[in-house]
Amino acid sequence: MEENERLMSSTEVVGDEEESIRPGSLDEYIGQDSLKENLRIYIQAALQRNESLDHVLLYGPPGLGKTTLSYILSHEMHTNIKIITGPSISKPGDLASVLSTLDAGDILFIDEIHRLPKVVEEVLYPAMEDFEMDVMVGGENGQGGRSVRLPLPPFTLVGATTRAGDLSSPLRDRFGIISKLEYYNEAQLSAIIARSSRVLGVSIDEDAIIEIAKRSRGTPRIANRLLRRIRDFAQVLNNGVISKAIVDDALVRLHVDSLGLDEVDIRYLRGIIERFHGGPVGLEALANSISEETTTLEDVYEPYLIQIGFVNRTSRGRVVTEKAYKHLGIHHPETLF
Ligand code: ADE
C-alpha cells in the first residue's frame, strides 16, 4: 500500500501514542453533541439504578470515534471493556468463550458487527435479551450432546458498524440505543487538532490548525494522522513548529489536495468522468476500472464524496456532479460557459 493510501485509510492502528491522544471522558470528547448529551443521561440513569447500560449500536463512516466512544462508556460506567471484531469470531464457541469472561456491567465492544457470521449472531440474541447463553454439553465430536442454558452477568454490548443496513433485524432490534455518528465540522476538527497537539507537545500555529481541519474529510482519525505526519516535516524542516506553510508543503508531498481528497478519491472521480462520461455507472464496473474493492469505495470513499456534493447515488448508478468537475478543473459537458 502506498504511504498516502495508508494515511487516508480507515484501518485502525492503535499504538501507544494513539492511546494517549484518545479522549478519556465525555467531557474531553469533542463533537457528536446530541449523541454525547443523550449518552450522559443514559449513563447517569443506569448508574443511579445500579444497572448495566442498555446495548448500544454506533454506526457511520470509519474514523469518526466509535471505538473511542466505547472506551469512554466503559470509563464513565467504571467498568472493563473487552474488544473483538466481527470477522475474527468464526464459531459460536469463540463468542461463548468471550461472553463467559465478562463480569457484571462490563462492556463488550464488537467492531464491524455486520461481519459476524449468522450462527455466531444467534448466540447473541439470548445473551443480549436475557443475559443467558446456550452451550452444548456431552456428546462426542459435536454429536449427541444437549444444549444447556447458562446465565451471564448483565453486560453492555456496544456494536460498531459502517453498514447499519447490513445488520439483520433481530440483531438490530436488540439494541436499546442506536446512533449514527456524523462527520465533524471545521471548528470541531480544529478543536480536536489543537487538543492532540497539546497532548503530543507540538507547537502549532492557529492557521495551520485550520488548514489541517479543512483537509481532514470531516474525520478525526484522518486529522490526527495528518498531524503526526506533518509534525515529522515540521521537526526536520522547521525547528518543530507546525506553520501553515509547513502544512501546505507536507500535504503536497502527501498528495492530499485542498479539500483533503487523496489519490483514490481523485481516481474515483476521474474514473467516472473519463471512462463513463460522468455516470451513471454501477459500483462494480467502476471498482473494476479503478482496481479498488467495492466495499472500500462504498464504506470509506463514497460517504464523504456524497457529503460534499461531488457524487450522487442514483438508482441507475453513481453520477459525478458539476461541483466535482469544477474542483478538478474539468469542463462539465452541460455547462455552457
Ligand atoms: N480524538 C479523536 N476523536 C476525538 C474527539 N471526538 N474528541 C476529542 N479528541 C478526539
Q: Tell me the DSSP string of 184-219.
A: P-HHHHHHHHHHHHHHHT-EE-HHHHHHHHHTSTT-
| For residues 20-43, average pLDDT | 96
| For residues 219-236, average pLDDT | 98
- Res. 97 pLDDT band, cuts 50 70 90: very high
Query: Which of 22, 215, 217, 221 does the annotation list as catalytic?
Result: 221
- Res. 139 pLDDT band, cuts 50 70 90: confident
CA nearest ligand 1 atom 3, residue: 220
| Distance in angstroms (rounded) separating the CA atoms of residues 21 and 305 | 27
101 is catalytic: no
- Res. 2 pLDDT band, cuts 50 70 90: very low
- pLDDT of residue 337 exceeding 70, the answer is no
221 is catalytic: yes
84 vs 10, higher pLDDT: 84
| For residues 106-130, average pLDDT | 97
323 is catalytic: no
205 is catalytic: no
- Res. 325 pLDDT band, cuts 50 70 90: very high
Residue 216 Cα to ligand 1 middle (Å): 13
22 Cα nearest atom in ligand 1? 1
Mean pLDDT of the chain: 93
| For residues 203-216, average pLDDT | 98
Burial class (CB in 10 A: 0-12, 13-18, 19+), 296: middle
The pLDDT, as a whole number, for residue 147 is 87
Least confident of 24-28, 106-110, 135-139: 135-139
Q: What share of the chain has pLDDT > 90, as a percent?
A: 88
Query: Which of 22, 67, 106, 172 does the annotation list as catalytic?
Result: 67
User: By C-alpha distance, which of 181, 187, 58, 172 is closest to 111?
Assistant: 58
The pLDDT, as a whole number, for residue 265 is 98
Q: What share of the chain has pLDDT > 70, as a percent?
A: 93
Return the sign of the alpha-carbon dihedral for residues 150, 152, 156, 157: negative
- Res. 242 pLDDT band, cuts 50 70 90: very high
